[in-house]
A and B are shown apart, each in its own frame.
Chain A
Amino acid sequence: MDKQRRKFLKVAGATALAGISAPAVVKLTASDALASSEHAAPAADAHEGANGHGDAPKGIRLGLVIDMRKLYGKPELLDKAVAACNKAHNIPHFDNKKDEIKWIWKAPFENVFPEHSQYHPADTAKDNDFLVLCNHCDEPPCVRVCPTKATFKIEANGIIAMDYHRCIGCRFCMMGCPYGARSFNWFDPRPHVKEFNPEFPTRMRGVVEKCNFCGERLAKGLEPACVEAVKEDEAITFGDLNDPESEIRKVLAENTTIQRKPSLGTKPSVFYIV
Chain B
Amino acid sequence: MIEKVLKGNSKYWMWLAFLSAFIAVGAICYLRQFIIGMGLTGMGRDLSWGLYISQFTFLVGVAAGGLMLVLPYYIHNYKVFGRLTILGEFLAIAAIIMCLMFIMADIGQPLRGLNMMLHPTPNSMLFWDMMVLLGYLGLNIICAWVILTAERKQVKPPKWVYIFVYASIPFAVSIHTVTAMLYCGLPGRHFWLSAITAPRFLASAFAAGPALIIIACLIMKRVANFDAGKEAIKKLTTIIMYAALVNAFFVGLEFFVGFYSNVPGHKHALQYLFFGLEHHGILYNNLVPFMWTSVFLCFGGLALFAYMKITKVYNELLIGIGCAGIFIALWLDKGLGFVMGGLVVSPLDEIVEYVPTANEIGITLGIWATGILLVTLLFKIAVDVEHEVEA
* B-contact 0/1 string along A178-201, CB 8 Å cutoff: 111001111110000000000000
Within 8 A of B (CB), among A114-135: 114, 117, 132
Q: Hey, which chain B residues are within 8 Å of A188, CB to CB? A: 37
Q: Is B315 an interface residue (CB 8 A)?
A: no
Shortest A106–chain B CB gap in Å is: 11
B75 to chain A, nearest CB (A): 28
> CB-CB < 8 A to B113: which residues of A?
168
Q: How large is the interface on A (under 10, 10 to 19, 20 to 34, 35 or more residues)?
A: 35 or more
- Judge whether A222 is part of the interface by a CB distance below 8 angstroms: no
Once A112-B348, A171-B48 are accepted as A-B contacts, the answer to whether A37 and B123 lie under 8 Å apart by CB is yes
Candidates B42, B45, B121; contact of A97 at CB < 8 Å = B45
Quick check: B45 and A148 within 8 Å, CB to CB? no
Contacts of B125 in A (CB 8 A): 145
User: Across the interface, which residues of A come within 8 angstroms of B245, CB to CB?
Assistant: none
Considering only CB atoms, which chain A residue lies closest to B118 in the complex?
Answer: A23
Query: 0/1 per residue, B191-211, Cβ < 8 Å to A?
Result: 000000000000000000000
Task: Check if B121 sits within 8 Å of A33, measured CB to CB.
Answer: yes
B116 within 8 A of A: yes
B interface, CB within 8 angstroms of A: 36-39, 41-49, 103, 106-110, 112-113, 115-127, 130, 182-183, 185-189, 346-350, 352
Q: Do B123 and A187 have beta carbons less than 8 Å apart?
A: no
In the complex, residue of chain A having the shortest beta-carbon distance to the beta carbon of B112? A168
Minimal Cβ-Cβ distance residue in B for A23: B118
A-B contact count (CB 8 A): 164
A169 to B41: give the CA distance in the assembly, Å. Answer: 14
Taking CB atoms and an 8 Å cut-off, the chain A residues in 61-77 that contact chain B are none
**A residues touching B (Cβ–Cβ < 8 Å)?**
23-24, 27-28, 33-34, 36-37, 40-41, 96-102, 107, 110-112, 114, 117, 132, 141, 144-150, 166-172, 174-180, 183-188, 205-208, 261, 264-266
Minimal Cβ-Cβ distance residue in B for A166 = B115
Residues from chain A with a CB closer than 8 A to the CB of B120 are 24, 27-28, 33
Q: Could you jot down 27 A-B contacts, CB within 8 Å?
A: A33-B120, A33-B121, A34-B122, A98-B44, A98-B352, A99-B44, A101-B45, A112-B348, A114-B348, A141-B187, A144-B123, A145-B124, A147-B127, A149-B119, A168-B109, A168-B113, A169-B38, A170-B106, A170-B107, A175-B48, A176-B186, A180-B45, A180-B46, A185-B108, A207-B109, A261-B188, A264-B188
Residue B187 contacts which of A36, A98, A187, A264 (CB distance < 8 angstroms)?
A264
Majority secondary structure, B binding face: loop
Which among A24, A37, A170 has the greatest number of chain B C-beta atoms within 10 A? Answer: A170
B127 proximity list for chain A (CB < 8 A): 147
Tell me the bound Cα distance from A7 to B383 in angstroms: 31
User: Complex: how many Å from CA A147 to CA B127?
Assistant: 5
Complex formed: what's the CA distance from A180 to B185 in Å?
Answer: 17
A186 CA / B183 CA spacing, docked (Å): 22
The CB with the most chain A CB atoms within 10 A, among B115, B122, B347, is that of B347
Interface contact B36-A266, CB-CB below 8 Å: no
Known: A141-B187, A168-B112; 8 extra A-B contacts, CB below 8 A, are: A98-B45, A117-B349, A147-B116, A148-B115, A168-B107, A184-B108, A188-B37, A206-B38
A178 touches B108 (CB 8 A): no
The answer to whether B119 touches A186 (Cβ under 8 A) is: no
Please name the residue on chain B nearest to A176 by beta carbon.
B186
| A114-B118 Cα distance, complex, nearest whole Å | 40
Judge whether A183 and B37 touch: CB under 8 Å.
no
Among A40, A100, A168, the most chain B Cβ lie within 10 Å of the Cβ of A168
**Contact, CB under 8 Å: B189 / A175:** yes
- With A24-B120, A33-B120, A186-B44 as known contacts, state yes or no: A265 contacts B187, CB within 8 Å: yes
Q: Determine whether the beta carbon of B108 is less than 8 Å from that of A169.
A: yes
Judge whether A186 and B37 touch: CB under 8 Å. Answer: yes
Which residues of the partner chain B approach A23 to less than 8 Å between Cβ atoms?
117-118
